[in-house]
Structure formats: structure tokens, C-alpha cells
Amino acid sequence: MELLSLLLSVVALILAAMAFGRTGGMRDLRRQLDALSTKAESARELAANTIDKIEDMVRGGEKSTRAEEPGHAPTDKSAQE
């Protein structure tokens, strides 16, 4: 009985390998991975640009605060304590 299970498992493995090869194999998988990487990079850039725009809206168009400029003490009360 164990021999029959082993034989069926090996046949199933061979059939799965053949099906993988017929559907494109590693070349197709790499091509899909490259396309996905390109889309992910595009989405990352879009998210970064959106966050920059939101930051500009929140800060009123100014990127640096007085505390970040050299020679100015922080204006936050918790930083003074």
C-alpha cells in the first residue's frame, strides 16, 4: 500500500512539473515578477508624492520649521522642559 502511495506521489509530481513547464515555467514567472516590481515602484513613487503634497498642505507650504533652522531654539514647550 505504501508503495502505491509513493508511486502515485511521484506520478503527480511529474505531471505538476510538466504542467508548470507548459504554462510558461520560470521565464513567465520572472516576467510577471518584473512587471509586478515595476508597478510596485510606481505605486511607491505615487504614495511618496501624495505624502509630500499632504505635508505641504498641513504645514502651509513651508518645509522647514523655526526649530530646524540653525540658531533658533525649539518652540515646542515639551522640548524646553
Summarize the confidence of residues 2-25 as an average pLDDT: 93
Summarize the confidence of residues 4-26 as an average pLDDT: 93
Produce one character per residue of 47-81: b if its CB has 16 or more CB atoms within 10 Å, e if not. Answer: eeeeeeeeeeeeeeeeeeeeeeeeeeeeeeeeeee
pLDDT of residue 65: 53
At 33-73, the pLDDT tens digits run 999 999 999 999 999 999 999 999 998 866 655 555 555 55
pLDDT of residue 60: 82
Backbone angles phi, psi at 26, to 5 degrees: -70, -35
Summarize the confidence of residues 16-20 as an average pLDDT: 92
- For the cut 80, the answer to whether the pLDDT of residue 21 exceeds it is yes
